[in-house]
């Protein structure tokens, strides 16, 4: 094991560029401006100027990159006629953009019951709730819908308080659970938390299980470190004694963080031992993304509350859900969600059609098989490219971590290069996400053609080579 005090002695205080270490790519950067100067025509520039004039500016959003006019299958199109394979899609497009089954279900539903006022229920909402209670593992059976993952996280925190009579939580540094005050309190990204004022109290944070940079084991094998990261959670559960819930993404989507096999089982046991609930936020990784219908299936662990979102709306409607275990149906006298669109029939028809499509087309199995194929290709490609330090993936979720050596020969994050690779790839017709500044996150639709996977890997390889030549 390396003695980390050596690093501490020589470390200079520094502040990280927060946008550089967060969720998405930076919207004010030199590389973006250069790309826009070259690509964007006058008509698009005019719309972008209007967008900037009428929207509140915020990081990771406005000012925007480009103006879209279409989204179909695996592709997005801009108003200049350019098209891009979309390996980003905000993780909503498991069934592809404008999936015909989903579109048809939405159109039919709009023509009959387009909204459901409170006090009433409707068949699409009931059917979707029934479907979720059937396909989620264990006795996860009780459903509440919400208009987005953030709201579903809020409902889960309220249910955990109601069920345990406690209010404290344990969550992960570096995590994202949405941008509202309660969600950023349990979230762990500085970009969202810094300067936001007093956050919720009682939100303890721990480092996530990180088998790629595990500091506990000199062999780099996390399982052999005796799962110290899980034991750390157990230690807090024991010390505090009154933690309501541990909340985490079972597989962190943006950084494709795959905890070692025994990790969640150990955390599950610890939660049971100390009377705390386990909440899995699968907003971004549910519905086949990881080669299983739900990411927790990869660990054979059933949480007490499962949060679903993004693709649940079929890539068209904002829709999320909290699915709780049967015994948590204890808050009949409380309002956990109370959202205007709680049982929106059109959103639920979209969700039901999306899940039916996933089942009919065997997209979960496809995600696993095609994912294995793509991961192999990516690993081969990485061998030939010195900027790629690490490739990881599960199902159709992949991450490439870019690192380089500084003048002292020390490995550092290749953030500038990651951005350049993005814009070089856009030039070749590929869009993806950058996370944590140096991480290329790839989330294609589960309907993606094998040939489009191959094309994508070639584009990334060419773009990386182009950047390396520039820097040599
Ligand atoms: C894990 C996770 N939780 C919650 C959210 C918030 O979801 P929404 O934007 O639908 O509110 C996101 C969004 O990216 C997410 O990735």
Q: How many residues does this entry show for the chain?
A: 472
- Burial degree of 134 (CB within 10 A; 0-12, 13-18, 19+): exposed
Residue 414 pLDDT > 50: yes
pTM, two decimals, is 0.94
Phi, psi of 278 (to 5 degrees): -110, 120
Residue of the nearest CA to atom 2 in ligand 1? 177
Using the atom order of ligand 1, give the atom closest to the CA of residue 254. 16
Its CATH architecture, for the domain 100-360, is 3-Layer(aba) Sandwich (3.40)
By percentage, how much of the chain surpasses pLDDT 90?
A: 87
The CATH number given to 17-97+363-471 is 3.90.1150.10
pLDDT score of 215:
53
Residue 437 and residue 445 in contact, taking contact as beta carbons nearer than 8 Å: no
Residue 15 pLDDT > 50: no
What's the CA-to-centroid distance between 246 and ligand 1, angstroms?
Answer: 17
The three-state secondary structure class of 45 is helix
Residue 146 and residue 182 in contact, taking contact as beta carbons nearer than 8 Å: no
Using the atom order of ligand 1, give the atom closest to the CA of residue 285. 1
Q: 3-state SS of the chain: helix, strand, coil percent to 5?
A: 40, 20, 40
Ligand 1 site, residue 281, Cβ cutoff 6 A = yes
Please name which of 286, 195, 288, 209 lies closest in space to residue 246, comparing C-alpha atoms: 209
Residue 30 and residue 37 in contact, taking contact as beta carbons nearer than 8 Å: no
Could you give the CA distance from residue 401 to residue 403 in angstroms, rounded to a whole number?
7
Residue 9 pLDDT > 70: no
Residue 257 and residue 210 in contact, taking contact as beta carbons nearer than 8 Å: yes
Ligand 1 site, residue 284, Cβ cutoff 6 A = yes
What's the CA-to-centroid distance between 360 and ligand 1, angstroms?
Answer: 27
What's the CA-to-centroid distance between 380 and ligand 1, angstroms?
Answer: 32
Residue 395 and residue 367 in contact, taking contact as beta carbons nearer than 8 Å: yes
Phi, psi of 37 (to 5 degrees): -60, -35
Residue 426 and residue 35 in contact, taking contact as beta carbons nearer than 8 Å: yes
Residue 263 corresponds to which tokens in the numbers above? 């990790």
pLDDT averaged over the chain?
93
pLDDT score of 318:
97
Ligand 1 site, residue 253, Cβ cutoff 6 A = yes
Domain ranges of the chain: 17-97+363-471, 100-360
By percentage, how much of the chain surpasses pLDDT 70?
A: 92
**pLDDT tier at 442, thresholds 50, 70, 90:** very high
Q: What is the pLDDT of residues 374-400, one digit of tens each?
A: 999 999 999 999 999 999 999 999 999
pLDDT score of 223:
56
């Amino acid at each position: 094991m390396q003695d980390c005090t050596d690093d501490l002695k020589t470390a200079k205080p520094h502040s990280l560029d927060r946008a550089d270490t967060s969720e998405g790519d930076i919207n004010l950067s030199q590389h973006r401006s250069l790309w826009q100067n070259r690509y964007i025509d006058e008509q698009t520039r005019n719309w972008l100027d209007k967008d900037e004039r009428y929207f509140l500016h915020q990081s990771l959003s406005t000012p925007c990159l480009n103006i879209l006019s279409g989204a179909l299958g695996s592709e997005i199109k801009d108003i200049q006629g350019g098209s891009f394979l979309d390996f980003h899609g905000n993780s909503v497009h498991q069934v592809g953009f404008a999936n015909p089954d989903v579109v048809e279900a939405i159109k039919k539903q709009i023509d009959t019951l387009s909204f459901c006022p409170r006090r009433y229920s409707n068949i699409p909402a009931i059917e979707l709730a029934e479907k979720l209670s059937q396909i989620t593992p264990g006795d996860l059976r009780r459903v509440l819908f919400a208009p987005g993952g953030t709201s579903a996280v809020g409902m889960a925190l309220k249910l955990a308080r109601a069920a345990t009579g406690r209010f404290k939580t344990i969550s992960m540094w570096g995590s994202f659970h949405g941008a509202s005050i309660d969600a950023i309190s349990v979230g762990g990204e500085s970009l969202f938390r810094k300067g936001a004022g007093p956050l919720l109290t009682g939100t303890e944070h721990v480092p996530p299980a990180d088998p790629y940079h595990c500091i506990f084991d000199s062999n780099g094998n996390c399982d052999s470190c005796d799962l110290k990261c899980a034991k750390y959670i157990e230690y807090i559960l024991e010390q505090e004694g009154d933690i309501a819930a541990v909340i985490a993404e079972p597989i962190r989507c943006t950084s494709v963080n795959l905890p070692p096999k025994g990790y969640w089982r150990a955390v599950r046991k610890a939660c049971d031992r100390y009377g705390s609930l386990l909440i899995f936020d699968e907003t971004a990784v549910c519905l086949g993304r990881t080669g299983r219908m739900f990411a927790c299936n990869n660990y054979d662990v059933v949480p007490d509350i499962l949060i679903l979102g993004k693709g649940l709306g079929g890539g068209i409607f904002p829709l999320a859900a909290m699915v709780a275990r049967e015994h948590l149906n204890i808050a009949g006298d409380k309002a956990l969600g109370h959202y205007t669109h709680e049982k929106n029939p059109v959103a639920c028809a979209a969700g039901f059609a999306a899940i039916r499509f996933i089942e009919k087309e065997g997209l979960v199995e496809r995600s696993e098989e095609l994912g294995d194929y793509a991961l192999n290709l990516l690993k081969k490609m990485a061998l030939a490219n010195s900027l790629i330090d690490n490739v990881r993936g599960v199902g159709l979720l992949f991450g490439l971590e870019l690192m380089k050596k500084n003048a002292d020969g020390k490995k550092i994050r290749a953030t500038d290069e990651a951005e350049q690779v993005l814009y070089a790839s856009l030039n070749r017709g590929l869009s993806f996400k950058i996370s944590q500044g140096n991480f290329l996150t790839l989330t294609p639709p589960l309907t993606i053609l094998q040939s489009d996977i191959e094309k994508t890997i070639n584009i990334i390889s060419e773009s990386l080579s182009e950047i390396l030549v520039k820097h040599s």
